[in-house]
Structure 1
Amino acid sequence: GLLLRMIQERLGLIGRLVVGFIGLAWTVATFLVVPILASQDVGPVDAVKRSVELLKRSWGENLIGNGGLGVVFGLLMVLAVLLGAVLIGGAVVLQSAVAIVLAVAVVVLGLTLLGLIQASLQGIYSAALYRYAEAGEASVGFDQALLQQAFAPKKK
């Protein structure tokens, strides 16, 4: 982390891009680590290796599925922030300290809940993809054909 921070600070825009790509690569490589740790008796290093191995078989689909969730929840976050700004702005117009505190609390709670829902759905998605990759069977509530597409061999 310290090394990445030094690169980011010394190389300006290029450093930020490099650190951003490294962060993205780490996020992608560790996408299936939690289900692997939960279901297999392996350590963290082996879990990352196994996650990378599974990613190599389905890299595009994993990124698209994860990106899809990110886009949807990114848009929901923007809408929630806009709605929160309107709510807080209305409380400021009322010039009531209680209304302002209540509005801020509602906005913070709403954004927190939205983040928790996103994290939960990403966990469910990664667990379903992992289960299909390991056992070849779809989890309850997931379409077998969609999961088969997610683990179709890469085209060379």
Structure 2
Amino acid sequence: MGKFARSWALMKSSANILRQDKELMLFPLLAGLASLVVIATFAWPVFALASSHHAEFEGQREHVSPIFMLVSFLFYFVQYSVVIFFNVALASAAMIRLDGGNPTLGDGIRVAMSKLPNIIGYALISATVGMILRALQERFGLIGRIVVGFLGFGWTVATFLVVPVLAAQDVGPVDAVKRSASLLKDTWGENLIGNAGIGVAGGILTFCLIFVSGVLFFAAASTHSVALMVAVGVVAIIALVALSLFQTAMHGVYSAALYRFAHDGDPGQGFDRALLESAFRQKK
């Protein structure tokens, strides 16, 4: 089975889980709403600091004020905390479904709340890594972007299973990163990114939706009907948001199944074990 066909099959498995538990899409929705609140909360202090340090944004980044750096770090930290919290809640609910249960929104939230100290710890680590990578990128220009690309890739691979590890095990953030890296190394290793193309199908669907929306918008514009153009735009935005929520929820379900497969050898109900073995075969 080729990469695209395998990716499509894995995506359908995740979609089947979501069809059984549509409430799983509420987790990324809540994460998005909470993220907007965080952005709105930090918008004014960031704007005020940017206005008072305008010169620092005109090529003098080596003299960025400590206050601005602190506010930026706090933003990263709070944003990561919110996103990771709801991702852990989603992974927890997905694991209940993979075990044959019928999870609710409250089930996922309760598990995430019980893991809150570990979630905050991992958010602190992620925010620190994010700030360091951003600083390297800004300080060293093109070379910095290349270095950050490699470092970011390595960090993404190492932390690929951190969220389901936090959801399933009572471990701290550092141990969660170590276990994530160990699970990947012991099972799929270097073939992880090359064979995990589940995002391809989602990307194609997004492109098709944008293309169709664009065609419909220009068709509406040709009628000179403002109401029709607004209607097409609103429907397109709602469809894109819905697709984004669906993809995010599928990723949570998929990562939970991958964790189960790596840790227990069984991805759970709704996933084909042979398909996962072919997708993440260990490099010989």
TM-score (norm 2): 0.49
CA distance in 2, matches of 1:8, 1:132: 36
Match of 1:59 in 2: 189
How far apart are 1:93 and its partner, in Å? 1.7
How many residue pairs get aligned? The number is: 154
How far apart are 1:120 and its partner, in Å? 1.8
Match of 1:145 in 2: 274
- Counterpart amino acid of 2:240? L
Match of 1:102 in 2: 231
Match of 1:43 in 2: 172
1:78 aligns to 2:184 (yes or no):
no
Gaps of 5+ in 1: none
User: What CA deviation, in whole Å up to 9, does each residue of 1:11-59 have, x standing for no partner?
Assistant: 4333222222222222222211111111101122221111111111212
Match of 1:114 in 2: 243
CA distance in 2, matches of 1:77, 1:13: 30
1:69 touches 1:118 (CA, 8 Å); kept in 2? no
2:133 touches 2:152 (CA, 8 Å); kept in 1? no
Identity of aligned residues (%): 51
CA distance in 1, matches of 2:132, 2:149: 13
**1:138 aligns to what SS in structure 2?**
coil
1:87 aligns to 2:216 (yes or no):
yes
| Aligned Cα root-mean-square deviation (Å) | 2.1
Gaps of 5+ in 2: 1-129
CA distance in 2, matches of 1:90, 1:64: 40
1:24 aligns to 2:140 (yes or no):
no
Match of 1:9 in 2: 138
2:136 touches 2:144 (CA, 8 Å); kept in 1? yes
Select between 89-98 and 103-112 the one with higher mean Cα deviation. Answer: 89-98
CA distance in 2, matches of 1:135, 1:126: 14
CA distance in 1, matches of 2:164, 2:177: 11
1:138 touches 1:144 (CA, 8 Å); kept in 2? yes
CA distance in 1, matches of 2:281, 2:198: 20
TM-score (norm 1): 0.83
- Counterpart amino acid of 2:184? L
User: What CA deviation, in whole Å up to 9, does each residue of 1:97-140 have, x standing for no partner?
Assistant: 22222111111111112222222222222111111222222311
